[in-house]
Each structure stands twice: as structure tokens, then as C-alpha cells.
Structure 1
Amino acid sequence: MRVHLVAAAALLALRPAAAPAQPDAAGLLGRSARVYRSLGALRAEFTQVIDDPMVGRLDSRGVLVQSGASKLSMKFSDPKGDEIVIDGRHVWVYTPSTAPGQVIRLPVPSGPVYGYNLLAWFLDKPSERYTATYVREERSGTRTLDVLALLPAVPDLPFRRATIALDRDDGLPRRIEIEELSGARRTLTLTKLQPNAGVSASQFTFAVPRGVRIVDQS
């Protein structure tokens, strides 16, 4: 009997260890969405890289402030003076670095504003819009990030695929990478996040500079 027990124990020892369970991508994304919805405001520094096969690489940086899905301010330090503001009624796109003398004004759509308010686009009802898959764990300084791949689950999303890196501690996104339908790749990286930072209403007001023409695209 003892011989059989020893043999059985030896066989169990030779059996490969079970692989660790894969983290629940949908659960991680859902948690991040809940954290995002609970925020009164969010302030962060950002860097953005756009790799476009038609125009090459575009790098920018600045400060992002957001309040809910309908208010956003992106003030660029590079290119200095560029600004994107969503005031709840309109989207203002002011880029004197590439289009001096004008500001584009668009109506705010009923859903999140893709291309500008990426956080709202990816974290507003994500389970209805995306299929999420766990990709890997990353380290960023002292932080651990969970990287998820997102594929559109509905036909009207203007990108092929995306990845989002979520902070394991607070659930907030630190990086979003998008492959757009045009073939361009956009990477938005957030640092120095300040959840529920104090913001004023003027943060989401665009003051049209003197001599600048409004191009209304209503």
C-alpha cells in the first residue's frame, strides 16, 4: 500500500502546475467605468502621439481637465496655444499651429465625443460597445497596469481596435492606444492624475480670440 501511495505522490509531483487564472477583462473594464462615472472631475497631464500614414507623426502634450462626459478642456503646451474645449453645448477646436485665424465649432453629439473625449468614449457603457480581452500586466514606475484589448461590438465605432492600460490600484486609465479606420494610430498617455480636482466653470469656456473667425459646422 505504501508503495502505491509513494508512486501516486510521484505522479502528482510530475504533473505540471495549473496556469494562473487569466484576469477578468470585462470585470476590470467595468470597474474602471464605475470609477470614472463616480468622478466629479479629473485633471491630468497628457502626451499624445498620432502616427498617420498620410501626414507622418504628430506629437503633442498639455493638460486635460474633464467633468463628466459632456465637458472637457485640453490645453496644449506643445503646440503652444492649441486648445480643445467641450462646454456642454459645443465642441471648440482651436489649432492656430495648423489653422491660424479660425476656430471650428461643432454641436455636441448625444453620445461621447470620439476623437476628443476619449475617456468618455471608452468608459461610458463599455460592455455595450466593446469585447474586452486581457493582454498582459505592465509596470509603470511603481504602478501595476492591466492592459486590455478592445474590439468594437457594434458597427458604428470609427476604429478597428484599441488597447487600454488601467491602473490596478485606482482603476483609472493611464494609456489608450487606437487603430483608426484610416490606418492612423493614436496613443494618449496620462500622468499626474488628480481625481476630483477642483475645477471652475471657466475651465470649460472657450473665449474666442479677437480677430479669429468661427467656422460653424452645425
Structure 2
Amino acid sequence: MLRLPIFAFIGSVLFSGPALAQSPEAVARQLQERYGALETLRASFVQTAGGQRLEGTLSVRRDAFRLDLGNQVLVTDGGTLWSYSRDDEQVVVQDYEPARVGFSVGQLFTDYLEVFRVTAASRATIGGVRHDVLTLRPRQSGSSVRDATLYVRSSDAVPTRVRVHDTSGSTLAFDLRDVERNVSLPASTFRFSAPAGTEVVDLR
């Protein structure tokens, strides 16, 4: 069973403020309400895990996303997940079930209160930009995610960094850059058409 990468970002926070006066859940709900006006998001990113650094691009529309890591592409329309390896010239097709794969890009950015409970909220200034910081834990047992920290830009509620620890003790890092909001993304962005000669492994 393929598992989606868990993305995070381990970075230097220049100033970390105290916990907010409101409850963590209230802060998270306010951020989600503001983020609700965001239809699409496109960004470049840097992923760091186990001493390895990967760069790529990410497009998100609610539960649908497209992640291009160069040698691997992950695409879902919210119902089907395509995992394509350029090196192996193979695509694995399966039903997209976030609870089973452990982590959903779309859910973390837009519907994280359904998947995670917020245990703490604070503020931080990163590179001169004010952020709201949420500490998250999965609501359901059996998740591969132990906890996550989400950094959300205070000015427009756009997530820019995630730090995630999985149950095996690994820490992975994800840093969004050049974020574009409400860009036009055709439906084909969230479908995958296998190149000629690609081996298709359908697990549905």
C-alpha cells in the first residue's frame, strides 16, 4: 500500500510568542473561515526528510491536489490517487482514502479540524512575517502521524510551513514558496494521463 509523503518544515523561528488568549480550537476555526475564500493554491516547495532535500511544485483545490517531485508525481481528484514514477515508468492507481494513507495535503490545508484536534495555538514571526502557529494531533487512532505543527500567514491565512513527526520517530519538513492564491487550475490538473509505454497497476 502506497503512503503519501508526510510534509513538514524544520526552520528557525525568529520570535515565538505566547499562547493566544482564545482557545486553540477557536483560533483554528477563525483561520479556516478566512481560508474558506481561497479556491485554489499553487506554490513551489522544498521538502527535507532524512537528510534528503527535494524540490517541486504543488497545486491544491480543496481535497484535490497535484504534487510533482520531479521523478515522482502524486495526483488526486479527491476520489482516485495516481502515483507515477518516471524512473520506473509505472503508475499505481488506487482509491484515495486519506484515513488509510495517513495524510492528505488538502485536508491539512483546508479541513484539518475534521482530521486533527488543535492542542495549542501561538504566534511567531518568520522572516519578518507574522504567522499563527497551530499544534495538531490526529483525532483517530492508528494514524501514521504523531503530531504536526502548521504555520499559517496571519495576513491571509495561507499555510507556508508544516512540521510533522510520524509514529516511527521521523521528522519531515515542508516549506511553501512563491505561493499563488486563487489561480486558474483546469480540471486536468487533478487527473493523471499516463504517458505512452507506462505500466499501469490498478489496485481499485
Q: How high is the TM-score relative to the length of structure 1?
A: 0.74
Gap regions ≥5 residues in structure 1? 1-19, 52-56
Distance in 2, matches of 1:182 and 1:111, equals 17
Shift of 1:96: 2.6
Partner of 1:199: 185
Shift of 1:110: 7.1
Alignment: residue pair count: 186
Aligned CA-pair RMSD: 2.5
**Which of 68, 74, 86 is equivalent to 1:75?**
68
If you compute each CA radius of gyration, which structure gives the higher value, 1 or 2? Answer: 1
- Matched to 1:102, the amino acid is Q
Partner of 2:6: none
Partner of 1:169: 155
Partner of 2:107: 120
Distance in 1, matches of 2:146 and 2:131, equals 23
Gap regions ≥5 residues in structure 2? 1-17
Distance in 2, matches of 1:176 and 1:23, equals 23
Shift of 1:136: 4.7
Partner of 2:42: 43
Distance in 1, matches of 2:58 and 2:78, equals 16
* Stretches (4+) displaced over 6 A: 110-113
| Residue 64 of structure 2 corresponds to residue 86 of structure 1 | no
What is the SS of the residue equivalent to 2:36? helix
Q: 1:215 to 1:21 in 2, by over 3 A?
A: closer
Q: Contact 1:42/1:196 (CA < 8 Å) preserved in 2?
A: yes
Partner of 1:212: 198
**Which of 62, 86, 91 is equivalent to 1:103?**
91
What is the SS of the residue equivalent to 2:169? coil
Q: Determine which structure has greater relative contact order: mean sequence separation of CA pairs < 8 Å that are 6+ residues apart, divided by chain length.
A: 2
Shift of 1:131: 3.0
Query: What do the CA deviations read for 1:109-152 (whole angstroms, capped 9, x no partner)?
Result: 2769644x324135415166313213551322x41122222223
Q: How high is the TM-score relative to the length of structure 2?
A: 0.78
Q: Percent identity?
A: 24
Distance in 2, matches of 1:21 and 1:94, equals 42
**Which of 152, 163, 173 is equivalent to 1:187?**
173
